[in-house]
Amino acid sequence: MLRLTRALMALSLLLFSALHAAEWQFDKTHGVIVGVLKWKDASLSPFSDKMRKDRELHALLAKRGAKNIRLLIDSQGTKKAIETAVREAAAAAPADGTFFFYYAGHGIQVKGGAMIANADIDSNRESTGVSIRQIAELIAANFKGKFVILSGDFCYSGAFEQALKILAAKGKQVAVVASATASNTSSGNWTFTQTFIDCIAGSPFCDRNGDGSILLSEVNEDVAEAMKYRERQRNGFFLSGVDSSLKIATASGRKSANTGEYVIAPYEKRANPARIIARNGNKVTAEFYFYSEKKTATLDATQIKPFDFRSTPAGSKVRVLWNGKSYEAQVLKEEGGFHYITYTGFGPEWNEWVMADRIVAADTVLIEWKGKWYPGRILKKEGGKTYVSYEGFGDEWNEWVPASRLKKP
């Protein structure tokens, strides 16, 4: 019995070690990448295709060895084409292979889940879209292997958790890396995909512990910070049967000390979220991200400021901004600056994670700047102008504005 116990312990340690040391096998990866930035349905606003990141992700994965990933762009991404591509790619994958699916574009919340907006969707007819459930069922029915990675840069992309549950029930090991939770809309920028690309490419900033390897858990940490600070958005990350120590890439170098943190910094005389990528004495290099383009600026260290997110305790009755209007809500829980709220009079499918900039206070106003409206607070009034602060930005960005640039939410 003692020998058997020792043998079982040795086997367990061996299996744990193998799992811990597992790597994404790019050369055995099959899958589909879909990027739709314009639609036949005029109610779905198009996105710019400037430096689009879906193509860049596809090219990077091919460079890493994943040469069996189908790419469907814009009009190619019809309902029939997506379903056919998923079915064929899943069937072609080897039993020891990995299946990868990624979508960028609009996501649509529907009863019992979410849909991706294929190029020929009619957003008023659910049957014309590709549901998350359909994607999962196609993979489950055709993929002989065990390991599935689902990723997406779209509203409600965390709904891939539904696919995870379907696939897990079929014995698959699943990782979901998404831009948003199942209940949240997503940024119109490429922030999530760019961060995912950076990690797969071996960015030292993704190597959170500096050991030279970029693990799945570190990808999530880097994505979570990018989405929180650049977009004030909570990402989606779920695992079933997959160890978070799965190696995604080897870091291309080591990041310098005291770099990698997110701050508020000026770019063209306006405060923006930025990441510190270099320091030299009292000078810092800040990296900004605008839609699909990185910009850098060298600044005095005194010009950068930390983020300042207000926290509202669970149980609080609040009003929450949604599409420029405010609605009664209650905070159910608070985690790391995010508040999980439920809207009064609406079902749980409308629950979402919001940051302080979406929670209305008595003095909250919307402030217009260059055609966009930003949440802020009234500090004082004098004559025909109002002195305001911008939510989440430091006092140095306070300014006097005319009544034409203010409105109540």
Over residues 3-56, the pLDDT tens digits come to 544 555 544 444 443 334 499 999 999 999 999 999 999 999 999 999 999 999
What integer pLDDT is reported at residue 18 of this predicted model? 39
Q: Are residues 246 and 328 in the same domain?
A: no
Q: Are residues 293 and 326 in the same domain?
A: no
For the ranges 6-15, 120-129, 154-163, 359-368, which has the lowest average pLDDT? 6-15
Residue 45, classified by CB atoms within 10 Å of its CB into exposed (0-12), middle (13-18) or buried (19+), is exposed
Q: Are residues 192 and 82 in the same domain?
A: yes
pLDDT-based confidence at 349, cuts 50/70/90? confident
| Alpha helices, H only, 48-131 | 53-63, 79-92
| Strand stretches in 154-309, DSSP E | 173-178, 213-215, 236-240, 247-250, 262-267, 270-280, 283-290, 293-300
Instruction: Look at residue 2 and tell me if it is in a domain.
Output: no
For the chain, the domain total comes to 4
- The CA-CA-CA angle for residues 375, 349, 344, to 5°, reads 60
pLDDT-based confidence at 394, cuts 50/70/90? low
Average pLDDT, the chain: 91
Q: Are residues 230 and 342 in the same domain?
A: no
Provide φ and ψ at 131, rounded to 5°: -85, 155
- Across 109-119, average pLDDT: 91
Q: Are residues 234 and 285 in the same domain?
A: no
Instruction: Look at residue 257 and tell me if it is in a domain.
Output: no
pLDDT-based confidence at 61, cuts 50/70/90? very high
For the ranges 219-228, 296-305, 383-392, which has the lowest average pLDDT? 383-392
For residue 335, what is the domain's CATH number? 2.30.30.140
Q: Are residues 108 and 149 in the same domain?
A: yes
Q: Are residues 229 and 350 in the same domain?
A: no
Instruction: Look at residue 37 and tell me if it is in a domain.
Output: yes
What integer pLDDT is reported at residue 321 of this predicted model? 85
Q: Which of 6-10, 200-204, 308-312 has the largest mean confidence?
A: 200-204
Has residue 383 got a pLDDT over 70? yes
Q: Are residues 313 and 378 in the same domain?
A: no
Q: Are residues 233 and 293 in the same domain?
A: no
Q: Are residues 148 and 224 in the same domain?
A: yes
Instruction: Look at residue 8 and tell me if it is in a domain.
Output: no
Query: Helices (H) and strands (E) in the chain — how many of each?
Result: 7, 25
For the ranges 16-20, 73-77, 327-331, 347-351, which has the lowest average pLDDT? 16-20
Q: Are residues 134 and 221 in the same domain?
A: yes
pLDDT-based confidence at 85, cuts 50/70/90? very high
Domain extent for 380: 361-409
What integer pLDDT is reported at residue 217 of this predicted model? 98
Q: Which of 160-164, 346-350, 395-399 has the largest mean confidence?
A: 160-164
Q: Are residues 187 and 321 in the same domain?
A: no
Instruction: Look at residue 18 and tell me if it is in a domain.
Output: yes
